[in-house]
Amino acid sequence: MIDSHTHLALCEEGDFALVRAAEAAGVSRILTVGMDSVTNSAALGSTVRHEAVFAAVGRHPNEATGFDDETAAEIRRLGAHEKVRAIGETGLDFYRDTAAPEDQRRAFSAQIEIARELELPIVIHARDPEGETAAIDEIFDTLDAEAGDAPVILHCFSAPHRVGDAAERGWYCSFAGNATYPSAKDLLFAAAKVPEDRILVETDAPYLAPQPMRGKRNQPAYVVETAKAVAEVRGVSYEELERTVEANARALFGW
């Protein structure tokens, strides 16, 4: 199994303990994701210490205030590292007001450009207020206009009404622990509709622990529980889903 999106730097246990626990659970590859200068550097540090860990570097939309050419240059420089396999997470977040929409848009467009330059996938964060779709709709429009043929990963997939649109565009949909919650059955049903060669699973640790671990801080080892739920709704064995997501991640991240 793989964890296509986690934040080792934000987990309390430390990356050595987290990677050991993940390996014991059968998780063979982990993509740890930076959100700002500090966590980008930490993500790269984890890749140096652990063969199984790779990184994405970028500027999260909630951290987009003050994004400028110097910030973009730093991401571009870090993105050239041999163990960086994606740019982001980036996108739009209209749920929180920690960064102005214009700052978010500027950071988003710049990171799309960097991903295209470096020929890396782009990891997308999208969050809207309850019942609204403005962020996800604008993200789709921006990617259509600017991303070209860059691979796109809709991290922590949260737009079940757009799962068909994502499939038409050939984008990857990655499902996190929230898809296992009883209140989020629409997300799990969406997981059943993703084409076989475009589905991924993740933890987004330390957030969104899957239902059997609710109340605990999430960690990469727990991706197994999300994968079990996704396999069940897709009508396949865990072992078959494991082979599928491992192949998809290998094709996408080149690890």
> Residue 221 pLDDT more than 90?
yes
Supply the pLDDT for residue 25.
98
CA distance 124 to 103: 16
CATH topology of domain 2-253: TIM Barrel (3.20.20)
Phi, psi of 86 (to 5 degrees): -165, 160
Reduced 3-state DSSP string for the chain: CEEEEECHHHCCCCHHHHHHHHHHCCCCEEEEECCCHHHHHHHHHHHHHCCCEEEEECCCHHHCCCCCHHHHHHHHHHHCCCCEEEEEEEEEECCCCCCCHHHHHHHHHHHHHHHHHHCCCEEEEEECCCCCCHHHHHHHHHHHHHCCCCCEEECCCCCHHHHHHHHHHCCEEEECHHHHCHHHHHHHHHHCCCCHHHEEECCCCCCCCCHHHCCCCCCHHHHHHHHHHHHHHHCCCHHHHHHHHHHHHHHHHCC
CA distance 58 to 71: 9
Q: Could you read off the pLDDT of 107-119 as tens digits, one per residue?
A: 999 999 999 999 9
Q: How confident is the model at residue 83 (pLDDT cuts 50, 70, 90)?
A: very high
Choice among 19-23, 96-100, 122-126, 177-181 with the minimum mean pLDDT: 96-100
CA distance 121 to 233: 27
> Residue 101 pLDDT more than 90?
yes
Supply the pLDDT for residue 4.
98
Supply the pLDDT for residue 224.
98
Question: Considering the chain, what percentage of its residues have pLDDT values greater than 90?
Answer: 99
Task: Read off the pTM.
Answer: 0.97
Phi, psi of 81 (to 5 degrees): -65, 145
Stretch 117-137: mean pLDDT, rounded? 96
The type of residue at 31 is: L
Stretch 125-133: mean pLDDT, rounded? 94
> Residue 97 pLDDT more than 90?
no
Mean model confidence pLDDT for the chain: 97
Q: Could you read off the pLDDT of 148-173 as tens digits, one per residue?
A: 999 999 999 999 999 999 999 999 99
> Residue 252 pLDDT more than 90?
yes
Q: Could you read off the pLDDT of 165-217 as tens digits, one per residue?
A: 999 999 999 999 999 999 999 999 999 999 999 999 999 999 999 999 999 99
Supply the pLDDT for residue 139.
98
Stretch 25-44: mean pLDDT, rounded? 98
Domain positions in the chain: 2-253
Neighbours of 100 (CB within 10 A): 11
Q: Are the C-beta atoms of residues 253 and 57 closer than 8 Å to each other? A: no
The type of residue at 246 is: E
CA distance 206 to 161: 27
Residue 207 to residues 124, 128, 152: CA-CA distances in angstroms? 16, 17, 22
Q: Are the C-beta atoms of residues 193 and 242 closer than 8 Å to each other? A: no
Q: Could you read off the pLDDT of 13-29 as tens digits, one per residue?
A: 999 999 999 999 999 99
Helix axes 223-234, 238-253, angle to 10 degrees: 110
